[in-house]
Amino acid sequence: MAIALSGTKKPLIQRLYFQVLVAVALGIVVGWLSPEFAKNEWIKGLGDGFVKLIKMVIAPIIFCTVVSGIAHISDARKVGRVGVKALVYFEIVSTFALIIGLLVANIVQPGAGFSGKPDANAVAGFLKQAGEMKASDFVLNIIPDSVVGAFAKGDVLQVLLFAVLFGFSLMALGEKGHSVRRLVDDMAHAVFGVIAIIVKAAPIGAFGAMAFTIGRYGPQALGNLAGLIATFYLTSFLFVVVVLGLIARLAGFSIFKFIAYIKDELLIVLGTSSSESALPQLMEKLERLGCSKPVVGLVVPTGYSFNLDGTNIYMTLATLFIAQALNVPLSFNEQLIILGVAMLTSKGASGITGAGFITLAATLAAIRPELVPGMAIVLGIDKFMSECRALTNLTGNGVACVVVSWWEGELDRTKLMRGLNREIDPSDVQTAITTG
Q: 331-364 as b/e, with b when 16 or more CB fall inside 10 Å? A: eeeebebbbebbbebbbbbbbeebbbbbbbbbbb
- For the chain, the structural domain boundaries read 12-432
- Listed in sequence order, the residues at least 6 apart from 397 whose beta carbon sits closer than 8 Å to its beta carbon are 275, 282, 299, 300, 303, 304, 307
Measured CA distances, 128 to 101, 321, 359, 385 (Å): 25, 22, 11, 22
| 387 touches 273 (CB < 8 A) | yes
**Torsion sign, CA atoms 186, 191, 197, 199:** negative
DSSP 430: G
Query: pLDDT (tens digit, 0 to 9) for every residue of the chain, 436 residues total?
Result: 333 444 456 677 777 778 888 888 888 888 888 888 888 888 888 888 887 887 787 788 778 877 877 776 656 677 778 878 888 898 899 889 999 999 998 998 887 766 555 544 544 554 555 455 555 665 677 788 888 888 887 777 788 788 888 888 888 887 788 888 889 888 888 887 887 788 788 888 888 887 887 787 666 544 545 778 888 999 999 999 999 999 999 999 999 999 999 988 888 887 776 777 788 888 889 988 999 888 888 888 878 777 888 888 988 888 888 888 878 788 888 888 878 777 765 654 444 444 556 667 666 766 777 777 777 667 656 667 777 888 898 999 999 999 999 998 888 898 999 888 877 665 554 444 443 3
**Residue 203 — φ and ψ, nearest 5°?**
-60, -40
Tell me how far apart the alpha carbons of residues 384 and 25 are, in angstroms, rounded to a whole number. 15
- On the 0-12 / 13-18 / 19+ scale of CB atoms within 10 A, 369 is exposed
pLDDT digits (tens, 9 = 90+) for 176-189: 888 888 898 888 88
Cα–Cα dist 125/102, whole Å: 26
CB 420 within 8 A of CB 265: no
Q: What is the pTM of this model?
A: 0.68
Q: Of 1.10.10.10, 3.20.20.70, 1.10.3860.10, 3.30.1520.10, which CATH number belongs to 12-432?
A: 1.10.3860.10
